[in-house]
Structure 1
Amino acid sequence: MVIPTKPHATLLASPGLGHLIPMVELANRLTAHHNFHVTIFVVTMEPGPNKPNLLPNQPNTLKPLYDLVVLPYVDSSAHMGPSDKIMTRLVIMMRGYVSSLRSELGSMEQNPTLLVVDLFGTEFLTLADEFNMIKYVYIPSNAWFLAQTVCVPLLDKQVKHEGPLIIPGCKRVEYDDILDPVFDPENKDYDEYVRIALDIGTADGVLVNTWEDLEPTTLFSFKNNKVLKEIFNKPVYPVGPLVRPVRPECLGEELSEWLNKQPKESVLYVSFGSGGTLSSQQTIELALGLEISQQRFIWVVRPPIEHDGAGALFHAMDGQDHMISQYLPPGFMTRTRNLGKVIPMWAPQMEILAHPSVGGFLSHCGWNSTLESLVNGVPIIAWPLYAEQNMNAALMDEEVGVAVRPKVLPTKVIVGREEIKKLINKIMVDDEGIKIRERVKEVQGYAKRALTTEGSTY
């Protein structure tokens, strides 16, 4: 009698929790539902033995469902120029780890059968050919972003600052929402983005952290639109929403007690993700907007970064400065002490969004945060900062109908306190926000259904 071994999936995650958390959730689904043995390889941005700070998906007393291997640090700084932007730097860094993963795959006792890489790991797909593995790309974002990406090579460096991108069978991408590399075909980011798009076409298929009811038109077009199929003819599988499960104990006693005392859906949660921060002026305007709205809030505050006056940008925080009050308007903490909570640097986001007292989320619209809001039925005030977040905001506002946006782009203009007040009140208390609050509950139901055995994701 021959006893078959488990299929072995190898997952490769780019640096940052925004890419790692969706990979972890995918690993858990592959092990729980399909009996895979999964190894997640993680690329690190700095030397050191520490493993990524993940919140486990099962009680601490249980062994994780997957193996987590941190690849030894590779210093690629010599290959980076001072003008290289974040996408180019990530790609160069990832490129330096190809030989490390090759060695790890070659030393495994069981020959791996499946390789899954994220958007910045597409150059590793050639290793799947060396080891005779099935190969997939996992997009930890939405199908609309995937559609834009695979269509970019057709632009042939002819994109001008003139109008929207037309994607066959899909919602067009308006000028202000286009991903930055597409704007400037002369920089390295554009070349790397085009290469990534072409690499995706060499995979056996693509997994996307979305579901049929959320993006029916785009997913239908990948299957049935003749023009889009000529551009990209590989299967696209919606596997979302993959978000980490709620662990109530992460709230902590003080925050949990405070939330429990607040009325249902009365608290606005404000956070810009693990890599977002605001300018000093925008931080002050946001503080005053929260104050004059007179709505309850939880605000995760990071020290601002000074720059040319734009409202927001990506900035990797080192966590060294927790004296948050010095960056807020004088007397703000005293005046709002009975209204809200100011939390420095980090908060248990999924647990906060899942609490019945939370009724709105002022968010940078990173895709993980967006999904966490949707699965908990929380409407969004969209405040995009970088990457594809403008597209996410547009999708939530114009297509899904669960969000509102400022009249100006926060990355280009300071959003004033009065507009912030109006956005908050619209979501939290105004009659015109009722439809948005009702709609997000519908989407929450669709998200739950997608993960059942009858759903599109299962």
Structure 2
Amino acid sequence: MKQTVVLYPGDGVGHVVPMLELAKVFLKHGYDVTVVLLESPFKSGDSDSGSAVVERLAASNPSISFHLLPPIPAPDLASFGKHPFLLILQLLVQYNERLESFLCSIPRERLHSLVIDMFCVAAIDVCAKLGVPVYTFFASGVSALSVLTQIPPLLADRQTGLKEMGDTPLEFLGVPPMPASHLIKEMLEHPEDELCKAITKGWERNTETMGVLVNSFESLESRAVQALRDPLCVPGKVLPPIYCVGPLVGGGTEAVERHECLRWLDAQPEQSVVFLCFGSKGSFSAEQLKAIAVGLEKSGQRFLWVMRTPPTTQDVSKYFEKRAEPNLDALLPDGFVERTKDRGFIVTSWAPQVDVLRHPATGAFVTHCGWNSTLESVAAGVPMLCWPLYAEQMMNKVFMTEDMGVGVELEGYNSGFVEAEEMEAKVRLVMDSEEGRQLRARSAARKKEAEAALEEGGSSRAAFVQFLSDVQNLGEKSRVK
């Protein structure tokens, strides 16, 4: 009898995509997998319903089952009056009853475990009630997990927020000194601030499951892995096992017709193109877009740029809405598109990022340092120019540039504006200097390490087998009781 693993990725494409890659690993080991999804509470007029998302995912992943939890009445974000993330956390608690009903529909002897996303920690209470093994899937890196695990005790002793420390470096086990300003923005507020408390409690609960599966590989972040196994990491708290099972990176698209940007790359020399893409939520002011364009043009390098329309408002409820395609003539310097048409290609919607990074013509990646993008670039052996924007991305920038040796920073990100001269200088450095050559060599070496981790006998394969063994042993112990 096959056992069923239930995966619970919460809301957001950046969390669903790596969870689907984890699902494929379970499938290879002979398990049935069901992915539980939620109806997104944030709807724009042109976004898909939850059922439409499920249908699309099921069509492209026929071996995986999908289950959409019955929706909770959509809240009114305008009257909520608080940060939307607090609303998401509140909704996830309310979804526990529906999650419990679904888990109870699976015969207990068939239910292997529930693997929850880093933000779905409310589900731990359901598993405790039902006696179901529960594990965290941490979709960022081990280094970020190490820092976030050590922050709650740091905040517990403080009477003031960390914001006033500015760039003062903080010491955490397993990572380079971290400027206080580079922590997740909401955690810099006063420790009694509602959002700061909620996020801090969430990170604490991430390590209150029976183990943490991390989308990374041990040699990429070995210091951080050792730190999380050190009893001194969080004094007085025994942390669960950490299993590095990555890099879990999609296999690229298998579209009938290749994206036009890939066809353009086919005509470019090897490692000659700078690829710029800033994630599904990354966007810049019109002024910043012009500075990027000027820097790219002056660098003389080929480029492939995924561009989004600048946000029209700071209203948090609009953060989740789709934006219209950008008007290039209005946003870019006069004549830029015409002058660079022989060496530049601009995509105004979506580009197949994994395929672009794996393309032989791609030589560097200007990235927001989201963990999925970082891993995709590491797995492709492409060096990065780091321009972090939000969440844990500034922390990732520190790890990428100082620990992993796969990126250089674009100065100005922390003050909110990168000058054209900086863009030009760093593009030239990575593409056409001795330092850039060394960076490419380190990136190529990391790619080989990533491949080795996933091979038979590799560290990530061994970690996943260990995880399965530990779940089995846990089950046998509970049956003996």
- Give TM-score scaled by structure 2 length: 0.86
Contact 2:365–2:382 (CA<8 Å) still a contact in 1?
A: yes
Q: CA deviation at 1:84?
A: 2.7
Check 1:317–1:285 CA distance in 2 against 1; reply closer, same or farther (3 A cut): farther
Say if 1:363 and 1:369, in contact at 8 Å, map to a contact too: yes
Q: Does 1:44 align with 2:33?
A: no
- Structure 2 stretches of 5 or more lacking a match? 44-48, 462-481
Displacement of 1:95: 2.5
- Residue in structure 2 matched with residue 19 of structure 1 by the alignment: 15
1:228 and 1:174 map into 2 onto residues whose CA distance is 20
What amino acid does structure 2 have at the position aligned with 1:415?
V
- 3-state SS, counterpart of residue 210 of structure 1: coil
| Structure 2 CA distance for partners of 1:243 and 1:420, relative to 1, 3 Å | same
Corresponding residue of 1:285: 291
Q: Is the 8 A contact 1:269 1:358 kept in 2?
A: yes
Work out whether 1:166 is the aligned partner of 2:164.
no
8 A contact 1:212–1:456 mirrored in 2: yes
- Structure 1 distance, partners of 2:55, 2:93, is 24
CA distance in 2 between counterparts of 1:330 and 1:181 reads 39
Q: Does 1:85 align with 2:83?
A: yes
* Separation in structure 1 between the aligned mates of residue 187 and residue 51 of structure 2, nearest angstrom: 36
Where do 1:213-228 residues align within 5 Å?
A: 213-228=219-234
Which SS does the other structure have where 1:115 is aligned? strand
Q: How many angstroms apart in 1 are the aligned matches of 2:460 and 2:55?
A: 24
2:444 is matched by which residue type in structure 1? K
Q: Displacement, 1:69?
A: 1.8
Q: Which runs of 5+ in 1 are unaligned?
A: 309-313
> Mean Cα displacement is larger for which, 156-165 or 380-389?
156-165
Per-residue deviation at 1:367?
0.2
Bigger mean CA offset, 194-203 vs 41-50:
41-50
Larger deviation: 191-200 or 422-431? 191-200
- Quick one: which amino acid aligns to residue 53 of structure 2? P
| Aligned counterpart in structure 1 of residue 419 of structure 2, from 388, 402, 416 | 416
Name the counterpart of 2:476: none
Q: Which residue pairs with 2:116 in the alignment? A: 117
Q: Which residue number corresponds to residue 6 of structure 2? A: 10
Q: What residue is the counterpart of 1:328 in the other structure?
A: 332
Name the SS for the 1:448 alignment partner: helix
Structure 1 match to 2:361:
357
Alignment partner for residue 439 of structure 2, among 397, 414, 436?
436
Contact 1:280 1:305 in 2 (8 A): no
Q: CA deviation at 1:131?
A: 2.5
Q: Deviations over 1:165-215 (max 9, x none)?
A: 332344332223111122102432211112213322321011111111101
Distance 1:404 1:190 in 2: 30
Partner of 1:256: 262
Q: 1:405 aligns with which of 409, 413, 426?
A: 409
| CA contact 2:5–2:115 (8 Å) conserved in 1 | yes
CA contact (8 A) 1:76 1:96 kept: no
Residues 13 and 42 in structure 1, CA contact (< 8 A), matched pair in contact too = yes
Q: Deviations over 1:49-101 (max 9, x none)?
A: 444389979x96xx622112222332453588665335323322322322221
Q: Please say if residues 178 and 391 of structure 1, whose CA atoms lie closer than 8 Å, have aligned partners that are also in contact.
A: yes
Matched positions, count = 444
Which of 237, 256, 276 aligns to 2:282? It is 276
The offset of 1:320, in angstroms, is 3.2
- The offset of 1:306, in angstroms, is 4.8
| Contact preservation (8 Å) 1:269, 1:298 | yes
Partner Cα separation in structure 2 for residue 335 and residue 91 of structure 1: 48
TM-score in terms of structure 1 length: 0.90
CA 1:192 to 1:42, structure 2 compared with 1: closer, same or farther past 3 Å? same
> Match of 2:230, as an amino acid?
N
Secondary structure of 1:221's aligned partner: helix
3-state SS in 1 of match to 2:320: coil
TM superposition shift of 1:239: 1.0
Which string of whole-angstrom CA distances, capped at 9 and with x for unpartnered residues, describes residues 266-307 of structure 1? 011101101111112111111111111121111111101256
The one-letter code of the counterpart of 2:117 is: D
Computed over aligned residues only, the root mean square deviation of the Cα atoms, in angstroms, reads 2.5
User: What amino acid does structure 2 have at the position aligned with 1:438?
Assistant: A
Q: Once the 2 structures are TM-superposed, how far is the Cα of residue 446 of structure 1 from its aligned partner? A: 0.4
From the superposition, tell whether residues 262 and 239 of structure 1 become closer, same or farther in structure 2 (CA, over 3 Å).
same
Aligned to 1:294: 300
In the aligned structure 2, how far is the partner of 1:250 from the partner of 1:299? 23
SS at match of 2:229: helix
Stretch deviating more after TM superposition (101-110 or 359-368): 101-110
**Percent identity between the aligned chains?**
30
SS of structure 1 residue aligned to 2:131: coil
Find 2:249's aligned residue among 243, 246, 255: 243
Q: Which amino acid letter does the alignment assign opposite residue 272 of structure 2?
A: S
Does the CA contact (< 8 Å) of 1:165 and 1:178 recur in 2? no
Q: Which has the higher helix share?
A: 2
> Are the equivalent residues in 2 in contact too, given 1:250–1:348 (CA < 8 A)?
no
Contact 2:259–2:352 (Cα < 8 Å) also in 1: no
Separation in 2 of the partners of 1:76 and 1:420? 43
Q: 1:231 to 1:72 in 2, by over 3 A?
A: same
Q: 2:182 corresponds to which residue?
A: 177
* Contact map agreement 2:139 2:371 (CA 8 A) in 1: yes
Whole-Å Cα distance in 1 between the matches of residues 93 and 83 of structure 2?
Answer: 16
Distance in 1 separating the partners of 2:437 and 2:212: 36
For residues 117 and 424 of structure 2, the distance between their equivalents in structure 1, rounded to whole angstroms, comes to: 38
